[in-house]
Amino acid sequence: MAGDNSSERIKYFVDGPFFVIRLCDPGSLNALNGNDYLYLAELLEKSERNSDVYFTVLQSSGRFFSSGADFQSISKAQETKTSEPELNKWLAYFVSRNVYVTDMFARHSKILICCMNGPAIGLSAALCALCDIVYSMNDKVYLLFPFSSIGLVTEGATSVTLPMKLGSSWTFESLLFSSPIRFDKLDGTIVAKNYEMDNVEKFNDAVLEELKSKIKPLYLPTLPDIKKLLRERYSQELSRANSVEVNDAIKYWVRGIPQRSFKQLSQKQRKHKL
């Protein structure tokens, strides 16, 4: 049974050792609200508890993997009247949620695989970067972290994952100037393989079929231990970054800076960098 955060935008199924999570709202470019992100974390926990599962596979639909935060949900949260101080409000809405979701991805013991069918934005892009293996549908995919353009700092432990995977120069360029990270920079750094396909359903099926073929000669119980050893040197860095990032960001939420940016984007008063 799904928790209270269950979402029509996100489905899942189990196929042998694969726990498959699919974003299925292509009409919104798979934008996610706060409860959607929490549900993603709940599904990771559900995968974690399944002793027959060794892989958690993230899939999507349509043109985008995920366009990031749902503008309308943030505007709605901003307009919600409460007697509590703004700090309390955004600690509950932003800090606790982001810490929890990022931590669930960072500490997930199963092999995390991301099937990028298209661009990923913001926190959704950060979660892609936290995955162990990323496959791209074609060379049109990109990651965009528009934190500086909406009045925020890094989130989703990107202050660790991006320098580690992309290198320092490209990380500074993309984060400081909210510049898209195109496929030519992702190839061989964050993206392990380009499937050179145009149909998202066929791409999702192809990745699963190839994974099933790859694991035939393997003793699957060794995989979580191998992952643990590979991530041991930087696992504490991810936890530290997760905490520092949200603590540095909260002052901007209290001052209403990102909320104004999201409202302008939702009302088309400013152009999104999609």
DSSP state of 95: I
Place 96 in a pLDDT band, splitting at 50, 70 and 90: confident
Instruction: Identify the residue whose tokens are 């400081």.
Output: 176
Place 258 in a pLDDT band, splitting at 50, 70 and 90: confident
| 1 has pLDDT over 50 | no
DSSP state of 60: -
pLDDT, tens only, 45-80: 999 999 999 999 999 999 999 999 886 666 566 566
Q: Enumerate the H helices of 31-146 as residue ranges.
A: 34-49, 71-79, 86-90, 96-106, 122-130
Give the pLDDT confidence score for residue 94 in this predicted structure: 74
Compute the mean pLDDT over every residue in the chain, rounded to the nearest whole number: 91
| 114 has pLDDT over 60 | yes
Distances (CA, A) of 54 to 32, 42, 115: 26, 17, 16
What phi-psi label fits residue 178: left (phi over 0), alpha (psi between -120 and 50 degrees) or beta? left
- Residue range 150-165: mean pLDDT, rounded: 95
Report the C-alpha dihedral over residues 182, 62, 52, 111, rounded to 10 degrees. Answer: 10
Nearest-angstrom CA–CA distance, 230 and 38: 27
Place 81 in a pLDDT band, splitting at 50, 70 and 90: low
Give the pLDDT confidence score for residue 74 in this predicted structure: 64
Place 268 in a pLDDT band, splitting at 50, 70 and 90: low
- Residue range 236-252: mean pLDDT, rounded: 93
What ranges do the domains of the chain cover?
10-198+219-267
Of residues 42, 48, 86, 155, which has the active-site annotation? 155
Judge contact between 111 and 54, C-beta under 8 A.
yes
Give the pLDDT confidence score for residue 75 in this predicted structure: 58
- Tokens for 86? 């703004």
Nearest-angstrom CA–CA distance, 195 and 203: 7
Give the pLDDT confidence score for residue 2 in this predicted structure: 43
Q: Is 155 among the residues known to form the active site?
A: yes
Topology of 10-198+219-267 in CATH? 2-enoyl-CoA Hydratase; Chain A, domain 1 (3.90.226)
Nearest-angstrom CA–CA distance, 170 and 181: 8
